[in-house]
Chains A and B, each alone.
Chain A
Amino acid sequence: MNSKIQNDIKELVEQQVISKESASKMEAYYQSKKVDVPNRMFTVFGVLGGLLIGLGIILILAHNWDDFSKSIKTSLAFLPLVLGQVFVGISIFKNKNNVWKESTGTLLFFVVGSCISLISQIYNIPGNFSDFILTWILLCFPLIYFLRSHSLAILHIIFMTFYAADFGYSYLSNGKTPWYYLLLLGLVFPHYWQLLKYKSAANITSIFNWLFPLSLNIVLGTFVHKTSELGVLMYVVLYGIFYSIGKMPLFSNLKLRGNAYLVLGSLGTIYMLLLTSFDLMWEAIKKTELVYSSQEFYITLFLLLIAIGILIYGIAKQWISKIDLTHYTFLIFTIVFFAGFNNKYIPLIIINLLILAIGILTIKKGADTFHFGISNYGLLIIAVLIVCRFFDTEMSFVIRGVLFLGFGLGFFLTNYFMLKRQKEGKMNLKK
């Protein structure tokens, strides 16, 4: 047990805050919690071992041993694969512990990749990287469920993102959409769902909470082909969905570092709004002829329906605040987006006002809850908005300087008054 906790318990008993009985109960609780720790550490080292051995095999085989005959090279490609399978087979058949399952699973994942790589190398099969990765993940995904392995699920998400990015963003991928990504996402989702259902506060779930939205964030752009302006709207709606998901009771009770949906949703929304607060985007929209039968349009519509569905459900269940403007940003943006096809000034004004309003409401929320982080985030939003406006307005240096001074002062004063109010609050509580 942590010696600090031990000292605290001792002090609490001495000061007669808790009874000796409660103290021994607390000590027993912390002792039982500690039993899990070495096991977790072994799992981490086991996975790292599996990962390093797997990567080592790939690198050794990538040397391309010219002196070996084709048949020896082929046998060498299959040897690690069969060994990896034997280890995983033992893990399953003997129902070994998590350390075994995680490390042998990781090892098998990499030796499957190394086997396919070596065969490609022997027969000079050229680099269709996305096909190679797709085959690799599809051959390994059942192991996630056979072994109940988190590390394999993490590798699955990382590699499926690689696959989609290579398929959709590479030079020769013009006009191609990585639809298999959706299948791969669906294949790993049940594992994530189990974690959310039974271990929502665990650290491992936090990792998945980050990986899922990050992967979607990276890949969404591959679904855009011709009308890139619709891609902007797609991202705004995606961040709207993230933000609403982040406010679900399942996630809103988590610490901020475990709630990537909220963090990415908020940052993404602000980023997209700042990006579209320049007139470049709206000039491009004016010149674009919107095709309603395009793939981008259908995907945007689909995302929009999901976002609106979550919003209505959230309001009905009362976990979405009616005054939190970020929730409604995607809706306002969608209306402005389609209205902006004729005129660039109206959308520009609305977007700028929207950022300003979100900034002010965030500061207010921070002040009301005595949360310095939130209020400074609000100030930062407004500060960045002003910096952005400096790029496209011909304001004199003096006015810019005065505005910056004013903002610096604003940061200081807001924090000062909040600190003062907090101190007063504490004093009143003591009285």
Chain B
Amino acid sequence: MRTIHIFILFIVVAIAQIFVPINMILGKEDILAKGQLYKFKTRPIDPADPFRGRYIALDFEVGLYETKDSTWQRGEDLYIYLETDSLGYAKVSKISRVLLPNEKKNFVNAKARWYNKQSKELNIQYPFNRYYIEETKAYDAEVAVRNAHQDSLIDTHALVYVKAGEAVLDDVIVNNISIKDYVKKIGVK
């Protein structure tokens, strides 16, 4: 194969290499612009990812769903239909293994973690359980949120945009401000 042919093929691959991340951005921007906003009550901890840096792993209060169906398999795909409670927080309306064509409520794709036969609860893994944060702030954020959580008067929740199964975690809010600003304000050490 001649150099020019290889070069042309390389240009195609280079365009694909640029197109994939741009497509990711466009998809997420579309959810942020047109998706419905939900507030998920949360409990965070602080791990790290080798490629993407430090993040706060979020555990949600709606992560447990009471159901009598005990046949859930680990890793099974779920459709979580959402609604909001009287205080404006997200609440699970129903869960399903298949897409419900007549259901009007907004839904998010998630995975089953495990089923607890004693408490009859299904543990759910949501696709927005990571909030990336600057590495120097990650530990402080974790401590701040843990302290905030112990104080039942401080409200911590995640702002999540949801559109047709896909979701984007926009921010984590502690006491009405973004966690990034909260860490600066409190100055936890």
Are A and B genuine complex partners?
yes
Q: Which of B18-26, B35-43, B94-102 is the contact stretch?
A: B18-26
Selected from B25, B55, B76, the residue in CB contact (under 8 A) with A119 is: B25
In the complex, A334 has a CB within 8 A of chain B: no
Query: A232 an interface residue at 8 Å Cβ cutoff?
Result: no
Of B53, B73, B133, B134, which is within 8 A of A174 by CB? B73
Which residues B97-151 have CB closer than 8 A to chain A? 111, 113, 125, 127-135, 137
Q: Which of B76-99 contact A (CB under 8 A)?
A: 76
Q: How far is the CB of A180 from chain B (nearest CB, A)?
A: 16
In the assembled complex, B3 has its CB within 8 A of some CB on chain A: yes
Query: With A and B bound together, what is the CA distance between A171 and B125 in angstroms?
Result: 12
B131 and A124 within 8 A (CB): yes
List B contacts of A122 (CB < 8 A): 25, 132
A113 to B125, CA, bound (A): 25
User: Is the pair B51, A58 in contact by a Cβ cutoff of 8 Å?
Assistant: yes
Instruction: Select B130's contact among A85, A126, A132, A135, beta carbons within 8 Å.
Output: A126
Q: Which residues of A contact B131 (CB under 8 A)?
A: 124
Residue in chain B with minimal CB distance to A139: B17
A93 to B53, CA, bound (A): 36
Chain B proximity mask over A97-129: 1 for CB below 8 Å, otherwise 0: 000000000000000111111111111111100
Q: Once the chains bind, are A66 and B133 in contact (CB under 8 Å)?
A: yes
Instruction: Report if B187 contacts A (CB, 8 A).
Output: no
Flag if A113 contacts B51 (CB, 8 Å): yes
Closest to A115 in B: B21
Chain A, Cβ-Cβ closest to B56: A124
Is B134 touching A66 in the complex (CB atoms < 8 A)? yes
Chain A residues with CB under 8 Å of B185's CB are none
Chain A interface extent, by class: 35 or more
In the docked arrangement, what's the CA distance between A114 and B50, Å? 11
Which of B127, B131, B132, B180 has the largest number of chain A CB atoms within 10 A?
B132
Residues B53 and A62 in contact, CB atoms below 8 Å apart: yes
Assembled-state Cα–Cα distance A146/B7 (Å):
8
Chain A residues near B180: list those with CB within 8 A: 66
Q: How far is the CA of A121 from the CA of B52 in the complex (A)?
A: 6
B157 at the interface (CB under 8 A from A): no
Q: Contacts A116-B21, A175-B73; is A139 near B16 (CB within 8 Å)?
A: yes
Given contacts A124-B130, A124-B131, A172-B125, contact A146 B9 (CB under 8 A): yes
Q: Per-residue CB proximity of A76-89 to B under 8 Å, as 1/0?
A: 01100110010011
The reply to whether B10 and A120 contact each other, CB–CB distance below 8 Å, is no
Q: Which residue of B lies closest to A135 (CB)?
A: B20
Tell me which residues from 174 to 189 in chain B have a Cβ below 8 Å from any Cβ of chain A. 180
Measured CB to CB, the nearest residue on chain B to A89 is B10
Q: Taking chain B's interface residues, is the majority helix, strand, or loop, or is none over half, making it mixed?
A: mixed
Cβ B75 vs Cβ A174 within 8 A: yes
In the complex the two chains form, what is the Cα distance from A146 to B75 in whole Å? 38
The interface residues of chain A lying within 8 Å CB-to-CB of B55 are 121, 124
A176 to B77, CA, bound (A): 12
CB-CB nearest in chain B for A171: B74
Q: Is there contact, CB below 8 Å, between B133 and A142?
A: no
Most buried by A among B14, B49, B55: B14
How distant is the Cα of A77 from the Cα of B14 in the complex, in angstroms? 15
User: Across the interface, do A92 and B10 meet the contact criterion of CB distance under 8 Å?
Assistant: yes
> Are B49 and A127 within 8 A (Cβ)?
yes
With A77-B21, A116-B24, A139-B16 as contacts: A64 and B10 at CB distance below 8 Å: no
Other-chain contact of A172, B14, B17, B52, B113 (Cβ < 8 Å): B113
B6 within 8 A of A: yes
Q: Which residues of A contact B132 (CB under 8 A)?
A: 64, 121-122, 124
A81 to B16, CA, bound (A): 12
Q: Which residues of A contact B54 (CB under 8 A)?
A: 62, 64
**Does B13 touch A at the CB level, under 8 Å?**
yes
What residues of chain B lie closer than 8 Å to A124, measured between beta carbons? 55, 128, 130-132, 168-170
Determine how close the nearest CB of chain B comes to the CB of A44; give it in whole angstroms: 24
* Cβ contacts under 8 Å, A74 to chain B: 25
The answer to whether B14 touches A64, judged by C-beta atoms less than 8 angstroms apart, is no
Q: With A and B bound together, what is the CA distance between A173 and B112 in angstroms?
A: 11
Contact A172 B13 (CB under 8 A): no
For A125, give its contact among B7, B28, B76, B137 (CB under 8 Å).
B28
In this complex, what residue of B is CB-closest to A86?
Answer: B14
Question: When A78-B18, A171-B74 are in contact, do A121 and B137 touch as well, CB less than 8 Å?
Answer: no
Closest Cβ of chain B to A394, distance in Å, is 41
Interchain CB contact under 8 A, B129 and A172 = no
Per-position 1/0 for A157-176, Cβ under 8 A of B: 00000000000000111111
Once the chains are docked, how many angstroms separate the CA of A117 from the CA of B59? Answer: 22
Looking at the assembled complex, report how far the CB atom of B27 sits from the nearest CB atom of chain A, in whole angstroms: 9
A171 CB contacts on chain B under 8 angstroms: 74-75
- Checking B10, B14, B73, B127 against A126 with a beta-carbon cut-off of 8 angstroms, the contacting residue is B127
Cβ-defined contact, A172 with B75, below 8 A: yes
- Contacts A81-B21, A124-B55, A127-B52 aside, 4 further interface pairs with beta carbons under 8 A come to A62-B50, A85-B17, A89-B10, A121-B52
Contact surface of B with A, Cβ cutoff 8 Å: 3, 6-7, 9-11, 13-14, 16-18, 20-21, 24-25, 28, 49-55, 73-76, 111, 113, 125, 127-135, 137, 168-170, 180
3 A-B pairs with least C-beta separation? A62-B53, A172-B75, A174-B74
The contact sample of 17 A-B pairs, CB cut-off 8 A, is A66-B134, A93-B3, A112-B17, A113-B51, A115-B21, A119-B24, A119-B25, A121-B53, A121-B132, A124-B55, A124-B169, A126-B130, A132-B51, A142-B9, A172-B111, A172-B113, A173-B75
